[in-house]
Amino acid sequence: MTVLDKIFSFLGKYKVVSKILFYLLLVFLAFQNLMFFDYVAYRMAFAIVILLLAFFTAFPFSIFDKPIDKKHKIYALFLAIPLMFIFIFFNIGMRDPVYFIRLYTDNAFNTFKLIASLFCDLILAYWIGLSLSLSLFEKYKDRIIKLALVIGALGFINVMYLPLDSYIANINDFEFTVRNFIFYFVAFYISIVIVFTLSLARLKDKVFNVIYKILLAISVGSLIQYLFMNKHLPYLGLTDKTTVWDVPVLIINTLIWILIFVAVFLLPKLLKKDFDRAGNISSALILAYHFVSLVILLVLAPANAYSIKVQYFFDTKGQYTVSNNENVIVIIFDAYDNRMAKSDYLSNPELYDGLNDFTMYTNTVSVFDSTVTSVNQFVGGCDFDNTLGLEEWLDSGWESDRTKSFYNSMHDAGYKCNCYNFDLPMVEKGYGKLDNIVKYDEPRELTVGYFDVNKYFDDFEALSFYRTMPYLVKNLISFAFNENTFHFYVVYDEVDRGYYYNQEYINHQKYVTIDDNVMMVNHLNGLHTPCDLEVESKNCFIIMNNLIDQFKELGIYDNSTIIFMSDHGSHRQYVNSDGSSPLFIVKKPNESHDKILLDHSQISLEDFMGTIAVNAGLPDPEKYGTSIYDFEGVTDRVRYTYERVYDSDYPMVYSKGHLPYMIKYNAYAKYVILKDAEEIKGINPFEDDIEILPMKEYFG
């Protein structure tokens, strides 16, 4: 009689069905993502371990204690066939099948990866059938207890505690709740403990002892690493490739790990029969410590860990609405740098054929080098102040007399002021100023229509393993993580997000007109990394020309101010340049000429509000700051731009906008721009003539 026969015997005639359901549930919960093991390094390692276990289990020269007889092999084979189809169904069915097939059949290498993954699934199903078909508890009870404790402790650290710790410590970053993923993680954790415990229990004595000691050493080392030794990192986080170049620290960290392994392997000789008890107690204490810590985290977690409620939100119904009368239309292409625009102009001048009536400003400076800070600066009037935290900084702009007066004047002039930007902490601050920000009478809980739990699992499990790895392993493994890694795509049933990505915007519905004047600021993906810069640049020009054609058809082109701009230039870490040189192309009402004009005036995005005031015909536009038209012919303007940097002379800062584990910045490098915005390209921000200003709180 097998283990499952005994477990389900009390169910009588339902035991066969129950056993089958148990197999299917276990396989699905534990390994439904295995097909995507090539995404991150730890999944590749996990898949290799599974294949090795399966290989050694299935053949006569097994490292396992009891040979597999013919009956069990046949039993497992019949079990493996339906499990194989279950793997395929859930791996493909949980995602868009069309996208999946296109992704894995677009070239020979991807097709090979698909075949290899399917083969891995087949071997895995066969191995599970072999492992669960043997009566293990009768002979290996003590081993199963030892393995369950040590695998349970190590798995709980990486699969349960650290992902929840990262989530709750940064709760304000996320638009989903614990309820959206906790059961998935619990099921995965339990499945891993069961499958690996039952499988490894059959190892031959010498092999079992070595594997058990390795697991125990890794469990102890992981605890010590993430609690005490990660402080030597320049920041507790991930970059495109995290390395620790401090050789003494690297050596000390490696020696500590070696010492942990040596101690665990020598303890059996010192403790003899008491080693098993000591190992079980150690694993149980580690497991208990993290379980209690997790319970405390969950109990003390803020309310938004369990319920996402909103009172203010962007209404996107008017995203394609313009005025029959006067318009100020601003399209923001994220990260579109003037260098790219100039390159396009020189290499593909035909791209600009539809922009004959526009003027391109070639010497533009942004105040900040990130979207959050930049858009709040020029739309909300939030000027640079490194002494303020996020809430204070937002209030300094949106609640200022200048910003309130600007939007009051726009409304008095008959303008609907709409902004479509879905990544900014401006929703509540802009209420009463931006007309498409709506307020519920009472905070309303949002219902998640779709949550990409697979992406969350991949990213946070990899992050957890990163936190527990010794420095040496951190240096050897490249994690493809950056600021874009932790963007979780959550779709709520009640919220229309509008269009943000270039291709989506290209395929949007036709614009319609209303009688009210319209000021519209629409933030699009533009050239934001990661992307194919050449392809997305062409998409941006397609958007520009499509809009111009539509506005001409609607008869509103001539009386409209149209601005195509960027919130900042390219980020230094991607293209080895500063982020201070954004695109800025503008057409005033009734402006017309034979070809696009190039204007080298020394302008800045701090001129934005004043420029809108001039073009909208507001009285006394100088009240809202300088405009781009104030600097025609000026050659001695001093402009400032602030680039985020990390300076070891200053402490790490708290973040409400990103995970602490990925913060690369705790200060600003203040650049003084005297002539051309491109003059600072490649300059080391830590040269003597660059002022470094500490941050109070990171929110870029």
Phi first, then psi: give them for residue 33, nearest 5 degrees.
-95, 5
More confident residue, 541 or 495: 541
Cα–Cα distance list, 672 to 209, 366, 581, 678, 692 (Å): 64, 12, 13, 12, 12
Q: Which of 247-251, 281-285, 667-671 is the least confident region?
A: 247-251
Residue 321 reports pLDDT greater than 50: yes
What is the per-residue DSSP string for 309-343? Answer: EEEEEE--TTTTEEESS-EEEEEEETT-BHHHHHH
pLDDT score of 404: 96
Instruction: Quote the CA–CA distance of 196 and 50 in Å, as a whole number.
Output: 9
Q: What is the mean pLDDT of residues 652-670?
A: 65
pLDDT at 257: 95
More confidently predicted of 113 and 218 = 218
Whether pLDDT at 29 is above 50: no
DSSP H helical segments within 581-646, as ranges? 608-615
Q: Given a cut of 90, is residue 87 above it in pLDDT? A: no
Check residues 241 and 617 and name the one with the higher pLDDT. 617
Q: Find the helix packing angle between 15-31 and 108-132, rounded to 10°.
A: 140
- Provide CATH code, domain 317-446+494-635: 3.40.720.10
> Can you tell me the mean pLDDT for 614-627?
95
Query: CB neighbours (10 Å) of residue 495?
Result: 18
Among 128, 287, 268, smallest CA distance to 198 is for 128
Q: Is the pLDDT at 21 greater than 90, yes or no?
A: no
pLDDT at 36 (0 to 100): 41
> Considering only CA atoms, which of 220, 205, 216 is closest in space to residue 151?
216
Percent of all residues in the chain with a pLDDT value above 70, rounded to a whole number: 67
Q: Which long-range contacts (CB under 8 A, 24 or more apart) does 630-638 make?
A: 631/601, 631/602, 631/603, 631/607, 632/599, 632/601, 633/601, 634/601, 634/602, 635/602, 635/675, 636/674, 637/602, 638/672, 638/673, 638/674
Identify the pLDDT of residue 422: 64
Mean pLDDT over residues 658-672, rounded?
Answer: 69
Output the pLDDT for position 7.
55
Q: Where are the domains of the chain?
A: 1-134, 139-308+447-480, 317-446+494-635
Closest CA relative to residue 672, chosen from 634, 644, 642, 635:
642
Q: Which of 160-164, 260-264, 596-600, 686-690 has the lowest mean pLDDT?
A: 686-690
Q: Which helix (H) or strand (E) holds 237?
A: none
What does pTM read for this prediction? 0.65
Q: Please identify which residue in the block is written with the tokens 């602030």.
A: 642
Task: Give 680 or 197, the one with higher predicted confidence.
Answer: 197
pLDDT greater than 70 at residue 471: yes
Could you tell me which residue, 160 or 341, shows the higher pLDDT? 160
C-alpha to C-alpha distance for 366 and 378, rounded to whole angstroms: 9
Closest to 94 (Cα-Cα) out of 453, 447, 448, 449: 453
Using the Cα atoms of residue 686, residue 393, residue 178 and residue 285 in order, give the sign of their dihedral. Answer: positive
Q: Which of 187, 62, 202, 189 is nearest to 131 (CA)?
A: 202
The mean pLDDT value of the chain amounts to: 77
The candidate with the shortest Cα–Cα distance to 165, out of 41, 296, 282, 285, is 296
Bridge partners, 563 (sequence order): 330, 586
Residue 671 has pLDDT above 60, yes or no: yes
Q: What is the pLDDT of residue 394?
A: 92
Residue 532's pLDDT band (cuts 50, 70, 90)? confident
The pLDDT of residue 9 is above 70? no
In the prediction, which pLDDT does 697 show?
84
pLDDT band at 40 (very low <50, low <70, confident <90, very high): very low
Looking at residue 397, its pLDDT comes to 95
* Mean pLDDT of the 651-667 span: 62
Q: What is the pLDDT of residue 166?
A: 81
Residue 535's pLDDT is 82
pLDDT on residue 635: 87
pLDDT digits (tens, 9 = 90+) for 171-211: 766 778 888 888 878 877 887 787 678 767 777 788 888 98
- Condensed to tens digits (0 to 9), the pLDDT of residues 122-150 reads 555 555 555 555 555 566 788 888 999 99
pLDDT over 50 at 656, yes or no: yes
DSSP-derived secondary structure letter, 510: P
Looking at the predicted structure, is the pLDDT value of residue 416 above 80? yes
Residue 432, amino acid:
G
Q: What would the two tokens of residue 591 be?
A: 């402006």
Among 68, 70, 45, 71, residue whose Cα is nearest residue 57: 68
Query: Which DSSP symbol is given to 665?
Result: -
109 vs 88, 99, 104, 112, 330, CA distance in Å?
19, 17, 8, 5, 43
What is the signed CA dihedral for 394, 398, 403, 406, rounded to 10 degrees? 140
**What is the C-alpha to C-alpha distance for residues 479 and 240, in angstroms, rounded to an integer?**
6
Residue 208 class from Cβ within 10 Å (0-12 exposed, 13-18 middle, 19+ buried)? Answer: buried
Number of helices and strands in the chain (H, E): 22, 18
pLDDT at 301: 87
| Cα dist from 240 to 26, 37, 484, whole Å | 35, 19, 11
The DSSP-derived string for 470-489 is: -HHHHHHS-----TTTT---
Q: What stretch of H or E contains 624?
A: none
Q: How far is CA 423 from CA 64, 225, 280, 699, in A?
A: 54, 34, 48, 12
pLDDT band at residue 467 under the 50/70/90 scheme:
confident
Highest mean pLDDT among 83-92, 235-244, 462-471: 462-471
Distances (CA, A) of 79 to 126, 127, 348: 7, 10, 61
Average pLDDT over residues 384-398: 92
> What are 692's strand-pairing partners?
669
| Residue 506 confidence (pLDDT) above 60 | yes
| 3-state secondary structure labels for all residues of 101-162 | HHHHCCCHHHHHHHHHHHHHHHHHHHHHHHHHCCCHHHHHHHHHHHHHHHHHHHHHHHHHHH
